[in-house]
Amino acid sequence: MLLFKSKNGKKEQSKPGKVSEGLWIKCPSCSEIIYKKELERNLEVCPKCNYHFRIEAEKRIKMIFDEGSFQELFGDIKPQDLLNFVDTKKYKERLKEDTEKTGLSDAVVSGVGKIFGITAAASVFDFNFMGGSMGRVAGEKIAMTFRYAIENKLPVIIFTSSGGARMQEGIYSLMQMSKTVALVSEFNRTGMPYISVLTDPTTGGVSASFATIGDVIIAEPKALIGFAGPRVIEKTIHQSLPEGFQRSEYLLEHGMIDMIIERKNLREVLKKLLTLLINE
């Protein structure tokens, strides 16, 4: 049992298997019960098994960029329900709910900031907004990030965490794949580096477009990376998949990514890469 103080100051016991809301978090990998503040101090990484929790775009930005240096761009672009899409609820309702939940207007935050004094354009996905899915707004923000970098001769860093294309926007969502790839191709002519950081999960249309064509592709440990999920693949081919299939370590072993970097080391590695590649 866990002892904790209630609002009236008295010590109480939690029920077996129950985690006190707001104080403790259960690791989905090793089931360790972690004090929330300890997890925050450890950059949202389990101190026992090194499981990297999914984090909000705001936290990612604070971890990576010099304090106070990040300036958001294109924040006034908001999604629209062009198809009047309805599944179990209206798309407009989903957008409203996730906006209230996250404080974001869509799944991507774009801007410009400094890493150890080196200026870079960046886009950061937030999985909490509709599973980080890429619709018209997310795709346009990615494209505009590359346009901004081209105009200002800046490197680009994209942090992905996405379930793929947003089904509620149909073909408008799928069009973002070709658009973002075209902008990466145009950006490549500048000679500036594009660093893609794949976090858990990076799947679907995002993995099949801009996310996997960076000059350097980094992944966090044990991140799920692929097009269709492993369960879908197994049901399609009627075969068992290799252990660890579509995880960062498997992709590194098979040459699909360049390196796996733990969150605590990512900022320093990005600094080294930017310094090396910009000065080439």
How does pLDDT run across 178-215, given as a tens digit for each residue? 999 999 999 999 999 999 999 999 999 999 999 999 99
Rounded Cα–Cα distance for residues 163 and 206 (Å): 8
Question: CB–CB of 159/127 below 8 Å?
Answer: no
pLDDT attached to residue 230: 86
pLDDT attached to residue 280: 57
Domain ranges of the chain: 19-53, 54-278
pLDDT attached to residue 21: 57
- The verdict on domain 54-278 having CATH code 3.30.70.20 is no
Question: CB–CB of 213/181 below 8 Å?
Answer: yes
SS3 169: helix
pLDDT attached to residue 154: 98
pLDDT attached to residue 229: 84
Residue 175: C-alpha distances to residues 53, 166, 180, 182, 206 (Å): 30, 11, 9, 11, 12
Q: Facing residues of 259 across strands?
A: 218
pLDDT attached to residue 7: 42
CB proximity list for 197: less than 8 A, separation 6 or greater: 157, 158, 159, 160, 218, 219, 220, 266
Task: Report the phi/psi class of residue 108: left, alpha or beta, with left for phi > 0 and alpha for psi in -120 to 50.
Answer: beta
Phi first, then psi: give them for residue 253, nearest 5 degrees.
Answer: -60, -30
Rounded Cα–Cα distance for residues 20 and 18 (Å): 7
Q: If we measure between CA atoms, which residue out of 255, 249, 257, 243 comes closest to residue 212? A: 257
The two structure tokens encoding residue 42: 């450890």
Q: Are strands 156-162 and 216-219 parallel, antiparallel or unpaired?
A: unpaired
Rounded Cα–Cα distance for residues 215 and 277 (Å): 10
pLDDT attached to residue 253: 97
Question: CB–CB of 38/47 below 8 Å?
Answer: yes
Does the pTM of the predicted model rise above 0.95? Answer: no
Per-residue burial over 7-41, b = 16 or more CB atoms within 10 Å of its CB, e = otherwise: eeeeeeebeeeeebeeebbebeeeeeebeeeebee
The two structure tokens encoding residue 26: 């259960």
Within 10 angstroms of residue 67's Cβ, the number of other Cβ atoms is: 8
Segments in the chain below pLDDT 50: 1-20
